[in-house]
Amino acid sequence: MHIFYNLGKYFLLLGRVFHKPEKASVFRNQIFDEFDKIGINSLGIIAVISIFMGAVAAIQTAFNIESPLIPLYLVGFTVRQTVILEFSPTVISLILAGKVGSQIASEIGTMRITEQIDALDIMGVNSAEYLILPKIIASILIIPILIIISMLLGIFGGWIIAISTGLVSPNNYIEGIQLDFRVYDVVYALIKTVVFAFIITSVSGYYGYNTRGGALEVGKASTKAVVYSSVLIILFNLILTQLLLA
């Protein structure tokens, strides 16, 4: 029953979140702030992880090609497909659920326990819309850009390791990443990313907004936000893949 209670509260909160902002200029500035907090601040970790994961994917693929009948350009092809279809949209989203999700839940949770949200409500500001909507909009716009950067860096990481260790020649790798390229794969990845971005910010916002108690509860809300966002990402990854690729 607890899951239905939370689900109901979550949708009621979303009903309050999706309202016309009180002032357009304030809302615009908030979105730009969130671009910075969610996007720019995550760029470093995403770059490092993407490059190394692309490199590992290249090594593992090359290591598993034992038969001389299998062309070496398959390394580039496999890295590209792995990175575009699964690694960048899903794994990076899971990492963002940890980084951005905990940040959102703890930020809003702290505002709740220090009565800052009550202060907004008293002023006549729709606190749910003011605090959560800019984060949702910003994440839906900026996270797909991060994912595209991650895709490029992942493929680049594979290329670096492939040529530096002599696993495959640069030409073979380039041939592989160009082989049978479908734009729809990127579209599919970006559709998933938009859904994951919404899950990360709305679920984290929900747990932060409904924090009650003190510092301990802020920590618990932050943990719950990461856990439930991650579970939902995995679940929707399966659903969307079945819907869009099957």
Partner 1 sequence: MIEVKNISKSFVNFPALKDISLSFDKGKTNLIIGQSGSGKTVLMKCIVGLLQIDEGQVIFNDRVFSEMKLKEKKNIQKEMGMLFQGGALFDSMTVEENVMFPLTMFTQKTLEEKKDRVNLCLSRVNLENVNNLFPSELSGGMKKRVAIARAISMNPKYLFCDEPTSGLDPKTAVVIDNLISEITKEYQTTTIINTHDMNSVIEIGDKISFIYKGQLCWEGSKDEILTADNEEINKFVYATELLRRLKK
Number of residues counted as binding partner 1 (CB under 8 A)? 15
In terms of CB distance, is 110 or 241 closer to partner 1? 110
- 215 near partner 1, rule: CB under 8 A: no
Q: At closest approach, how far in Å is the CB of 232 from partner 1?
A: 28
Tokens of 198: 């919404």
Which stretch, 55-63, 82-90, 123-131, 152-160, contacts partner 1 (CB under 8 A)?
A: 123-131
- 36 near partner 1, rule: CB under 8 A: no
Which stretch, 7-15, 119-127, 140-148, 167-175, contacts partner 1 (CB under 8 A)?
A: 119-127
- 114 near partner 1, rule: CB under 8 A: yes
One of 7, 12, 26, 239 touching partner 1 (CB under 8 A): 26
One of 121, 165, 215, 243 touching partner 1 (CB under 8 A): 121
- 244 near partner 1, rule: CB under 8 A: no
Which stretch, 44-52, 92-100, 122-130, 232-240, contacts partner 1 (CB under 8 A)?
A: 122-130
Give CA–CA dist 138/52, Å, rounded.
Answer: 27
Note the residues at the interface with partner 1 (CB under 8 A).
22-23, 26, 110-111, 114-116, 118-119, 121-125
